[in-house]
């Protein structure tokens, strides 16, 4: 449990830590959940068991950290700092969670990745492009790359909407490894066609990315679970030797 930046509550943080000591060379993945999900969903979907087997097979271990970003906006916080200051989920991640996890071994961007599903897929890309010095890899599952703000997190303020629109800041992705992963049967309108659109936007400015379109997959944690091997392999190739 960590104090929220607003100081009015505490928020859960779920952690998978492999059986290796902490060091600056141990990579960390920050996982952002969707809405109305909670941080434990990724582990209830079987991530811990999958990682146990993956690392036992000889692959490089990494930490997974899943903070709670549900906040006060009916859970739909966009993983952002709200215009009215009620929620500060981006600040919670960057200034509460990351220092608490990394402690006296702060990582460089090459040993730090961010990933997420649905709202978390948007949040992962948004936070990464807003802070390109912090993250070397991004994985967005069933994400979207424009502002979708039904709860008014950004208060309708044009400057905040622009600042939190990944599709307006693709140039900040230069030098990042990017995975865009979506199911062919995803029924969420906000997600439909977004991975393909963002892949094309990146390509237009010469930034390579990996696009996965999973056949028959829907917008749920069955899809997320099915993509664990894809994400693990993608990240494995990106960690420094």
pLDDT at res. 74: 73
pLDDT at res. 143: 98
Domain coverage including residue 129: 2-238
pLDDT at res. 76: 92
Based on the structure, what is the number of domains in the chain?
A: 1
CATH number where 113 lies: 3.40.50.1820
pLDDT at res. 83: 96
pLDDT averaged per 10 residues in sequence order, the chain, 241 residues: 84 96 97 94 95 96 97 86 94 97 97 98 98 98 97 96 98 98 97 98 98 97 97 97 85
State the DSSP string of the chain: -EE-TTSS-EE-EEEE--SS---TTS-EEEEE--SS--TTHHHHTTHHHHHHHHHHTTPPP-EEEEE---TTTTT--TTSB-TTSS-BHHHIIIIIIHHHHHTTSPPPGGGEEEEEETHHHHHHHHHHHH-TTT-SEEEEES---S---TT-TTTT-HHHHHHT-GGG-GGGGTT-EEEEEEETT---TTTTTHHHHHHHHHHHTT---EEEEETT--SSHHHHHHTHHHHHHHHHHHS--
pLDDT at res. 241: 85
pLDDT at res. 75: 82
């Amino acid at each position: 449990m960590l104090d929220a930046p607003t100081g009015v509550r505490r928020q859960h943080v779920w952690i998978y830590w492999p059986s290796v000591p902490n060091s600056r060379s141990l990579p960390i993945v920050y996982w952002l959940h969707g809405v109305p999900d909670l941080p434990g969903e990724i582990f209830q979907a079987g991530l811990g068991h999958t990682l146990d087997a993956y690392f036992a097979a000889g692959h490089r271990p990494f930490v997974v950290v899943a903070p709670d970003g549900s906040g006060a906006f009916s859970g739909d916080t966009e993983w952002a700092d709200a215009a009215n200051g009620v929620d500060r989920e981006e600040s919670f991640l960057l200034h509460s969670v990351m220092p608490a996890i990394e402690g006296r071994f702060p990582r460089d961007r090459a040993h730090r990745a961010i990933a997420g599903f649905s709202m978390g897929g948007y949040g992962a890309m948004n936070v990464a492009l807003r802070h390109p010095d912090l993250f070397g890899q991004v994985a967005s599952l069933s994400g979207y790359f424009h502002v979708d703000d039904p709860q008014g997190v950004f208060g309708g303020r044009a400057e905040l909407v622009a600042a939190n629109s990944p599709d307006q800041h693709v140039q900040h992705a230069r030098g990042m490894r990017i995975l865009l992963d979506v199911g062919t049967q995803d029924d969420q309108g906000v997600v439909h066609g977004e991975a393909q659109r963002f892949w094309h936007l990146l390509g237009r400015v010469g930034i390579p990315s990996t696009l996965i379109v999973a056949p028959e997959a829907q917008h749920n944690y069955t899809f997320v679970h099915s993509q664990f091997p894809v994400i693990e392999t993608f990240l494995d190739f990106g960690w420094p030797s």
